[in-house]
Structure 1
Amino acid sequence: MSNKERPNQANTNSEVTPTDTGYTFTDDPWIRWRNTWRYLTGGLTDEGIHQYIRGRDARFEREDCHRCEKERDYLLQYSPIVRFMNQKITALGGDLHKGNIRCQSCKEGRGGGFDPNYGILLCANRPEPVEDRLAHEMVHAYDFLRFKVDFQNHDLRHAACTEIRASSLSGECRFWREFWHRSQWKLTYQHQECVRRRATISVSKRPNCKDDVEAAKVVNEVWDSCFADTRPFDEIYK
């Protein structure tokens, strides 16, 4: 048999069957319901879970953003912690309002962000309460104005300190949220462990942080002074 007559064995062997993630891309309501059922009952692979979340976020982006904006407007007017933080930020020369507190759909794993030049971003597709996320970012805004926290040069010690304070003071680490929503069932030092865990995760995502080991090291270095600092509150609010 000549070379021309031989099948291309290399090409035949290189064919790869796509991995079944359990998720089906579709607009069909029945199959979408099946995707949801598989998601809730553990029938999706890790990649299938990512595909489900991305599909859900894309489908409900407009509704999520509208809901987030309504909650933001309500909180700015009626939430005690948001109103208090906004007063303190205004006293330092800041100006946060619904024009620079924006809602949009974000990639997985992100809850929001603060940028001194643009204001606050709230990720509308995250399930956590908007009040906690807004208070978290307002602590960052306060720290930038009050303590000149380095958000531009990415100083990891500055990042660790403001993340510790934001997680501790915003309410996102209160006992029942950890207990019921994150399956953290320890009865002692739960708040401290939540703050340390979430601060370490946030610092590890900074571009100039090598890994979670370095993030944990930096958090530990500044822990005592930053966790004890509850300004502008007299104590941890909630």
Structure 2
Amino acid sequence: MTDSSSLPQPPTAQPPESPVFDKDFYTWTTFFSLLAGQRPAEDRAKYMRMRDLANEEADCKKCEKHLTYLFNYSPVVRFMRDEIKKLGTDVNPTNVRCKRCTTRQTGGFDLHYGILLCANELQTRGQIEDTVTHEMVHLYDNLRFKFNDLDLKHHACTEIRASTLSGECRFAREFFKRGQTTITQQLQECVRRRATLSMRNRSSVRDDVHAAQLVNEVWDSCFNDTRPFDEIYR
């Protein structure tokens, strides 16, 4: 078994040169004018960047605190850690990084770099639990199966499995956080939607139709494959 340092290191979440903090822009006046719809969309994006810069240290510390708790007490995180250990790699708070991300995503996994959590996009322990579990499923799939990084069907399959098994598509999360009120086939619809969106963000995927086609081609086998769980955990 390899030690924890063998887990690939996540890429830095910041760009080479961080944007300069504009204290004259990041004010209550700007905030309320954005709420009132008196500023263009690009000003909202700039305000969010300034917010992330101002709160970077606090966001990362909060993320790291929740992450430590989850590795100690979360049943799903502890289970996934044990299963990944069986494949020769240890995942723990020292090699899962909480960073400020510059894109609107909650986390990521890269075959060569590892697991990243976007501290500025994760507000609660529950969100962090769902996200780290999602990325741990990706890591498990890369270690357990003959994963071909150039095969888009392999990526579609692991996106389906990660959304299914992480808990991010359970009904309460969809209903209260995302406003999705459909009950019939709710889990399947959520997994399809999130897996398709993830695939669409890949540069080698042509468009929405191509992304949906890739998900559909592997749907039956990948949605029903709950390994390493006996069944969908939550």
In which range does the TM-score fall when normalised by the shorter chain? 0.7 to 0.9
Q: In the TM superposition, what are the counterparts of 1:118-129 in structure 2 within 5 Å?
A: 118-127=113-122, 129=127
Q: Does 1:192 align with 2:188?
A: yes
Residues 1:184 and 1:39: Cα distance change in structure 2 (over 3 Å): farther
Match of 1:130 in 2: 128
Match of 1:37 in 2: 32
Deviation at 1:177, TM superposition (A): 1.1
For 1:116, give the aligned amino acid.
Answer: L
Q: In the TM superposition, what are the counterparts of 1:72-221 in structure 2 within 5 Å?
A: 72-127=67-122, 129-151=127-149, 153=150, 155-221=151-217
Q: Does 1:67 align with 2:65?
A: no
Determine the C-alpha separation between the residues in 2 that align with 1:42 and 1:175: 32
- Give the 3-state SS of the residue equivalent to 1:125 in structure 2: helix
Determine the C-alpha separation between the residues in 2 that align with 1:43 and 1:230: 48
Deviation at 1:234, TM superposition (A): 1.1
Q: Does 1:228 align with 2:234?
A: no
Deviation at 1:235, TM superposition (A): 1.1
Determine the C-alpha separation between the residues in 2 that align with 1:47 and 1:235: 44
Gaps of 5+ in 2: 1-20
- Give the 3-state SS of the residue equivalent to 2:70 in structure 1: helix
Deviation at 1:190, TM superposition (A): 1.3
Q: TM-score, normalised by structure 1?
A: 0.82
2:63·2:122 contact (CA, 8 Å) conserved in 1?
no
For 1:132, give the aligned amino acid.
Answer: D
Residues 1:85 and 1:39: Cα distance change in structure 2 (over 3 Å): farther
Q: TM-score, normalised by structure 2?
A: 0.84
Determine the C-alpha separation between the residues in 2 that align with 1:42 and 1:139: 40
Q: Which has the larger radius of gyration?
A: 1
Deviation at 1:180, TM superposition (A): 1.1
Name which structure has the greater RCO, CA cutoff 8 Å, separation 6+. Answer: 2
Deviation at 1:34, TM superposition (A): 2.8
For 2:45, give the aligned amino acid.
Answer: H
1:26·1:32 contact (CA, 8 Å) conserved in 2?
no
1:112·1:123 contact (CA, 8 Å) conserved in 2?
yes
Residues 1:130 and 1:39: Cα distance change in structure 2 (over 3 Å): farther
Determine the C-alpha separation between the residues in 2 that align with 1:62 and 1:160: 34
Deviation at 1:53, TM superposition (A): 1.4
For 1:150, give the aligned amino acid.
Answer: N
1:96·1:119 contact (CA, 8 Å) conserved in 2?
no
Match of 1:57 in 2: 52
For 1:213, give the aligned amino acid.
Answer: V
- Give the 3-state SS of the residue equivalent to 1:172 in structure 2: coil
| Deviation per residue, 1:98-150 (Å, 9 max, x gap) | 22211101122222112233321111111361111000000001101111222
Residues 1:194 and 1:38: Cα distance change in structure 2 (over 3 Å): farther
| Identical residues among aligned pairs (%) | 55
| Deviation per residue, 1:164-205 (Å, 9 max, x gap) | 000111011111111111111112111111111110111111
RMSD (Å) for aligned C-alpha atoms: 1.8
Residues 1:26 and 1:120: Cα distance change in structure 2 (over 3 Å): closer
Determine the C-alpha separation between the residues in 1 that align with 2:62 and 2:225: 33
